[in-house]
Structure 1
Amino acid sequence: MFLGRIARHLREQNWFALAAEFVIVVVGVFLGLQAANWNEERQERKDEAVILARLQDETATLLEAVREEREVLQTRVDLFASAKNVIFTSTEARSLTPPECSAVAGSHVYRRESDQLPILEELLSTGRFDRLKDEEIKVLLRRYILFRDRQRANHEERTNELFRLYSRHPETIRIALVPRGTDTDIDWGFMKYEDTRWVPQCNVERMRSNRQFLNELFDNMGRNGHVLLGYEEREELLIEIQQRLEEILGS
C-alpha cells in the first residue's frame, strides 16, 4: 500500500505528497525506536532497583556473619594469648584451661571467611553490572571484588602446611574419651556420644621442652593476626557499601 502510494506520487510528480510520505515514515520509525528505548530504559531502572534492594539485604546479612566470625576469632586469639604466656615462658608452669588446651590442639584449623554477595556474582556472570548507574557504588563493589579475591588467595596460602599438633606430638596433646558431665559440656571434634565426649589433654611440661612443637605452635598461631586484619578491612568495606546503598535508596 505504501509502495503503491509512492509509485502514484512519482507518476503524478507530486513531490510534496512524496516528501510528506517520507516524513511520516521517518517520524514513525523514530517514534517507534524512541518508544522502544524508553521501554528498555524503564525496564533497566526497574532491574536496577531490584539489584540495589538485594545488594542492601545481602550486604547486611554478610556484615552480620562477618561480625560473628570475627568475634569467634577474637576469642580464639585471646585464648592463644593466655596460653602462650604459659607455654613459651620460663615462669612456674600451670595447667592450661580446657578452652586454652582446645585452642592449642585446634590451632591448625582456619576456615575461609564468609565473603559471598550472591547478587554481585549474578551481575558479573550475566553482564548486568553496568545496570548500576551510581558510580560510587560501582567503585565500592569493584574494591570489594578485588579485596575478596585477594583474601581468598591469602587463605590458600595461609592454610598451606599448617601443623596438626595432636597428631605430630601425641606426647604433648592427648585426645581422650572422658565421661560426659552435663549436656553443656563441649564436644571436641565431630563425633558425639550420649555418655562420653572427646577432649584434648595438654601436657605443658612436655610442650615447653619440645622445641619443634613450640616452633610449629608459633607458626599455627601467628596467622591469626593477619586474619583479624582481614576481617577488620572486610567489615569497613561492607559498611561503606551499606552506607552508600542507604543514601541511594533513601533508607
Structure 2
Amino acid sequence: MILSRITTAIRTQNWFAVAIEFVIVVSGVLLAFQVSSWSAKAGQRAYVRDALTRMLGELIGLSEVRANSVASRAERLAYLLEARPIVMGVVDADALTREQCVAIAVSDNGSGGVPDGLPSLDELMTSGAMESIQSANLRQSAMELYAKRGVVRTYAQQSVHEVVNLPIAFPDAVQLLLIPEPDEADDGWDVSASCDLAAMQASPAFQAALLQNIATYRGHVDYAYGFIDDAIATVREDLEEELGLSAEPAP
C-alpha cells in the first residue's frame, strides 16, 4: 500500500508526498526497533529478577548449612588449640581428654571443599545478565562473592595436600577406634581415638605434623568459612534491598 503510494507520487513528481511517505516508513521501522528493544529489556529485567529471587533462597539455605558445618569445625579447633600446648610439653597434664584426642586423630579432615554452591549466581555471571542488575552495590558485592569463592576453592584444594593423617603416619602416638554407641543412627558404632601423650611429646616429627594440621585447620575455619560468610552476608543484604524486602526503618 505504502509502496504503491510512493510509486504514484514519484510518477507525478509529488515530492512532498514522497517525503511524507518516506518519513512514515522510517518512523515505522524505528518504532518497531524501539518496541523490540523495550520488549527485550523487559524480558531481561524479568529474567534477572527471577534469578535474584532464586539466589536469595539459595543464600538463605547455604547460610544455614555453612553455619551448622562451621560450628562443629570451630568446636574441634577449640579442642586442638587446648591440646597443642600439652603435646608440646609447655603445659602439664597427665593425659589428653577424649575430645582433644579425637580432634588430633581427625585433624587432617578439616581441609578440602566447603558448601558454597550458588547456581543462580553462576547463571547470572556466565549469561552476562549481571550488568542488568540495577543496584550497583549488589552488582559489586555479587561479583566480589563470585571472585572470593573461586580463590577459596583453590585454597581448599591446595590445603588438602598440606595436612598429615596422624594415625597412619604415627600409629604409636595416636590410633582411631570404634566404640559402641547405641544412639548412633547408622550402625551402633562411633569413632573414638587412643592417644599416647608420652609418645607425642617424645616425637618432634609428630609435633611438627600436628602444628601443621592445626594451622591448616585454623585457616580452613577462618578463611574458607569466615571470609566467604562475610561476603554472603553482604550480598544477602544488598539483594534484599534490591528486591524490596529490607526491613522498614523504625519511626
TM-score by length of 1: 0.88
Q: Deviations over 1:183-227 (max 9, x none)?
A: 249xxxxxx645x55532111111111111111111111122222
Q: Distance in 2 between matches of 1:83 and 1:233?
A: 26
Distance between the aligned counterparts of 2:235 and 2:187, measured in 1?
Answer: 45
Summarize deviations over 1:12-44 as a string: whole Å, max 9, x none: 111222122112212211221121122112111
Please state how far the C-alpha of 1:125 moved relative to its aligned partner.
Answer: 2.3
| Alignment-derived partner of residue 120 in structure 1 | 121
Q: Is the 8 A contact 1:137 1:241 kept in 2?
A: yes
- Residue of 192, 201, 209 corresponding to 1:216: 209
Are 1:241 and 2:242 an aligned pair? no
Q: RMSD of aligned C-alpha atoms?
A: 2.1
Alignment of 1:2-151 (within 5 A): 2-89=2-89, 91-109=91-109, 110-151=111-152
The letter for the 2-side match of 1:87 is: V
Q: How many residues align?
A: 243
Shift of 1:175: 3.0
Separation in 1, partners of 2:152, 2:27: 56
* Match in the other structure for 1:201: 194
Q: 1:205 to 1:19 in 2, by over 3 A?
A: same
Structure 2 Cα separation of the partners of residues 213 and 121 of structure 1: 42
SS for the counterpart of 1:113 is: coil
Deviations 1:83-119 (A, max 9, x none): 2243222554423222221111111112322222111
Work out whether residues 112 and 157 of structure 2, in 8 Å CA contact, stay in contact via their aligned partners in 1. no
Counterpart contact for 1:93–1:205, Cα < 8 Å: no
**Equivalent residue in structure 1 for 2:244, among 240, 245, 250:** 250
CA 248–90 in structure 1, closer or farther in 2 if over 3 Å, else same: closer
CA distance in 2, matches of 1:182, 1:100: 22
**1:1-22 deviation line (CA, Å, top 9, x unaligned):** 4333222211111122212211
- Structure 1 runs not aligned, ≥5 long: 186-191
Deviation, 1:78, is 0.8
In 2, the alpha carbon distance for the partners of 1:32 and 1:60 equals 42
Decide whether the 8 Å contact of 2:107 with 2:217 is kept in 1.
no
Structure 2 distance, partners of 1:175, 1:46, is 55
Deviates more, 1:124-133 or 1:29-38: 124-133
CA distance in 2, matches of 1:181, 1:142: 46
Counterpart residue identity of residue 42, structure 1: A
What secondary structure, in the 3-state scheme, does the structure 1 residue paired with 2:192 have? Answer: strand
Unaligned runs of 5+ in 2: 246-251
- Residue identity matched to 1:233: F
- Equivalent position amino acid for 1:152 in 2: R
SS at match of 1:240: helix
